[in-house]
Structures are given as C-alpha cells and as structure tokens.
Structure 1
Amino acid sequence: MTIDSTVIDTPIGPLSVLAGPDGAVRAAGFTPDPATLLPLVHPGLRGDLRPRGDLGPVNRAVVSYLDGDLTAIDPVPVQQHTGGAFMAHAWQVLRDVPAGEPVTYTGFAARAGRPAAVRAAAAACARNAAALFVPCHRVLRTDGTLGGYRWGLQVKTWLLGHERHSDSKPTPAMLPIDATVG
C-alpha cells in the first residue's frame, strides 16, 4: 500500500499530511518531515510514503481554513485506527467542536456521552494522529489553560487565535486562552 504525503506551508510552520489511497487523512502534524508521522499511523493503515506536491482537496481545505473559512477542513475524510468504540466516537465529537468555541476536557467528555471519563477524553486527544482535521487543539484544561499539544503550545495558541479572530462575530462564551502550563 502507498500513502501519499505532502507538506503545506502555514503561518505557524509546515503542516505535513499523510493520506491513504482514497484521499482520507491518516495523519497530520506540524512538522517539515512527513516520515515522522508514520509511527502515529496504526500499522494496519501504514504504507510506503509517496511524496506529492498537492493532495488536491486536502490542500485546498487547509488553504481555505488558513484564509479564514474555518469549516473548510470539516468535510475532509479522516481514517484512524480507533482502538475501541469510545475512541472513534470521541474523535468524531472532536470534529464537531466548532472553531472558535474551545471546550474543556470535562466538557469534551460530556459531549462524548461519558461525563466521568475525563481521562479517556484526554487520551483521545493524545492519541489523535490527524491534527487540525481532528481538532484536539480545541480542548483546554478545566481552568481554561492550554494543557499540552503534541505540536507545541505555540502552534496550539496560534490555531486557537486564528479561529477566534477569523470569525467576524465574537463568541462571548469562549473560554479565555492562557498559554501557561500548570
């Protein structure tokens, strides 16, 4: 099996994307080297990397998102190995969190139908291989601070700021963004 890979320039740095033969994103992350994403892909979904300059709809969606159409990434198909029904459901719930309206881990667990499963919700974020397309950057600690992010807090801060400021109408219920880790 062959996996197509590309690197897309973004204001916060290069975004590498791996896509399967059907065009579904299997992994994405803010790194200049797509090969570093391969270990994040389940062994059953891995293949030899084939560099491509453009992945068509995936590239167009990212460019549109960066240009302010924050919903452009929503219809891009994603394929990850779930590791169970809760993980698959949690990743879908993450895809339904609107841009500019981050949630806490507690809120994310509740949206996923398991309000007491805050650690499982956090694990879903940590195991997410398809950054941006499954927007785990939209999940914050209960106190509103950033928490962690595989691609660094600067990237998470930028993404949240982009989503907050790309919308013409402010969201009064939005949680404060604080770059401290504690």
Structure 2
Amino acid sequence: MRGTIDSAVVGTPVGPFAILAGPDGAVRAAGFTAEPASLLPLVHPSLRGEPRQQPELGPITAAVAGYLGGDLDAIDDVPVEQHTGGAFMSHAWQVLRDVKPGEPITYTGYAALAGRPAAVRAAAAACARNAAALFVPCHRVLRTDGALGGYRWGLPVKRWLLDHERLG
C-alpha cells in the first residue's frame, strides 16, 4: 500500500455507507458497510492506501447527503477513480454513470449502451467489479425479466435505492 486514503461513513436509511477517497477527492471505493477497510480489496492495488478515518469528505459526503435528501443528481459530478486494466470495463463504468435515476436498464440494454450489444456477460462483470457503489450506479441495472439480479450490498439495499430514485 502507498500513502493514505481518506475514509468516512455516512448513515443512510439502509445502513452505514462507507467511502474511500484519494488525496485528489476522487472516490476509489464505496459500499454499504460500517467498515471502510473492508472496501480495500475492491480498490486496484495501485490506488490502495492506509484508510484514515475522517468525520466527513467535503463535497463527497455532501453529495451523498443531497442524494439521500432527494437530489438524485447530486452524486453525478463526484469524481471516481478505479482501474481494471481493461478498456471495456472503464468505458462501461463511465456509461453506467449516464444511466438516469428512476430509469433502470437491463443488462442487455447496458451492454448495448456500452457499445457491445452481444457482451451481456461483460456488462454484468462490469457491475460485479464496480468498487464505487452509488457513484457508479450498478444498482440501476436489472435482469431482462425485470428481476433485481445481484448486488454486492444485498438485494434489500438495491430495492431501496431503486425505490428512492423512482419516488425521488
């Protein structure tokens, strides 16, 4: 590990939400856990650091508070930094950030938006490997039959996020 990365935990209606951010203010990992250190394995080795607990992360935690308060676009401009070594994965995560709240898409639709309509499994893998939950909104991707599919942080959290965005 190199250096430190800042961490904070924000309370949400579905439990604690931990965030790891680099010194430049970009989110490196986020998820519905009370333990920021548990997010470290999700961070690319070149971006890891020793988590340093902070009471808040300025514009990042303000954006989460805004989102939770009903400003569903508040998280859109928060910078995210994650690496995979693959061009498709990075592109797919960027495409996912353009999926609007309250307008979930299917894995098939997501693959098409990412420019590879036949790559449904690769699109699903992009969701599964996404370290920056909420900021890269993989919760907005559903199975073709409309079922929730999977979510690293549990289906009740995914359902809450989708309902929050639909009603927000």
Match of 1:46 in 2: 48
Match of 1:172 in 2: none
Q: Tell me, which stretches of 5 or more residues in structure 2 are unaligned? A: none
Matched pairs, number: 166
Shift of 1:9: 0.3
Shift of 1:100: 0.3
RMSD of equivalent CA atoms: 0.5
TM-score by length of 1: 0.91
Whether 2:161 is the aligned partner of 1:130: answer no
Shift of 1:152: 0.1
Q: Which moved more, 1:66-75 or 1:81-90?
A: 81-90
Shift of 1:103: 0.2
After TM superposition, list the pairs within 5 Å mapping 1:8-27 onto structure 2: 8-27=10-29
Task: Tell me which amino acid in the other structure corresponds to 2:83.
Answer: H
Q: Tell me, which stretches of 5 or more residues in structure 1 are unaligned? A: 167-182
TM-score by length of 2: 0.98
Match of 2:162 in 1: 160
Partner of residue 63 from structure 2, selected from 57, 61, 64: 61
Match of 1:117 in 2: 119
Match of 1:178 in 2: none
Task: Tell me which amino acid in the other structure corresponds to 1:29.
Answer: G
- Identity across aligned pairs (percent)? 77
Shift of 1:83: 2.5
Task: Tell me which amino acid in the other structure corresponds to 1:32.
Answer: A
Match of 1:72 in 2: 74
Q: Residues 100-145 of structure 1: CA distance to partner in whole angstroms, max 9, x if unpaired? A: 0000000000000000000000000000000000000000000000
Shift of 1:71: 0.3
